[in-house]
Every structure is written in C-alpha cells, then in structure tokens.
Structure 1
C-alpha cells in the first residue's frame, strides 16, 4: 500500500494554488526621469557586468532582458533612482 505524503499548509498553498500561468516575470525598467536623456551619465551600463544595458545618446538606456540577471547593480548605481524592477 502506498504511503500518503504529508504537506504543510505553506506547501499546499504555494505548490498547488499557483499555476504556471500566474508566474510573474520581473524585469528592469528605466523611467523617463533618467538624466541620460538630457546629459551624459552611463553609470547603469558601467555597473552592469552582464552588459545588459546599452547606452544611447539623447535617450534613455535600453535593457536587454535576455542578458539581465536582476542583480540590481544598476539600481544601486543610479544616483537619481530612475531604475526599478516591475
């Protein structure tokens, strides 16, 4: 006879209540308050070891979400807090 497996309430909730379609994918977002639009900063792309942030002249930097590992180094290096995770 097969033994019944015991689950805690937390395991039951997290394992069986969530489906794969409910998984939220976080990503780095750079707001329009980025100083790079009006000047020259590049601190976020300098701090990114995966080189996931590309600096563009006179526009906000672009994040390559395939390369980004959500290490948050760009968030820490941005002195005006224009980068967040959504």
Structure 2
C-alpha cells in the first residue's frame, strides 16, 4: 500500500493555489510559406537549432532549446512567427 504525503497548511495554501507561470513561447502561424512552397529562412538563422523543419508542414519550435532570441522573427519575410504571452 502506498503512503500518502503530508502537506502543511502553508504548502496547501501557497504552493498549490498559485497558477502555473506561463513562459512566453514562439508560435509559427498557418501563413508560413513552407506549407505552400519551400522556405528555411527561420531555420537557417536559429543558432540554437530550436526550429525543426518538416516537409509540407509548418516548422515546429522546440521550447526546451528556444532562448527567445527572436532572430527567427526578423528572418521571416512574411511575419509568420510571433511571441505568445
């Protein structure tokens, strides 16, 4: 049988009552040219290699590797990349 954890009143009211902190993330919209043709401008500029290229799909962003340097935003000539709050 598993033992249950014991939490203090302080832990219950402070640690668990707080909403999770959302880290800003990069998002690639559906207007990305890679859906309709071939474009790798954001992937070429990313020094952390956080953008993963996929054939006939929009690229995906690895949130673990992304440092939010925003170089890919400047490299995208159709403004398909943005930051969420």
TM-score for the superposition, normalised by structure 2: 0.74
Structure 1 residue ranges without an equivalent (≥5): 1-19
RMSD over aligned Cα atoms: 1.5
- State how many pairs are aligned: 68
TM-superposition CA deviations, 1:18-50 (whole Å, max 9, x none):
xx6363310000000000001000100101000
Q: Structure 2 regions of 5+ residues with no counterpart?
A: 1-17
2:82 is matched with 84
Q: Deviations over 1:32-75 (max 9, x none)?
A: 00000010001001010000001111000010000000000000
| Runs of 4+ off more than 6 Å | none
From 36, 44, 63, the counterpart of 1:46: 44
Secondary structure at the counterpart of residue 19 of structure 2: helix
Indicate the structure with greater helix content: 1
Alpha-carbon distance between aligned partners in 2 of 1:22 and 1:55, rounded to the nearest angstrom: 30
The 5 A counterparts of 1:4-83 are: 21=19, 23-83=21-81
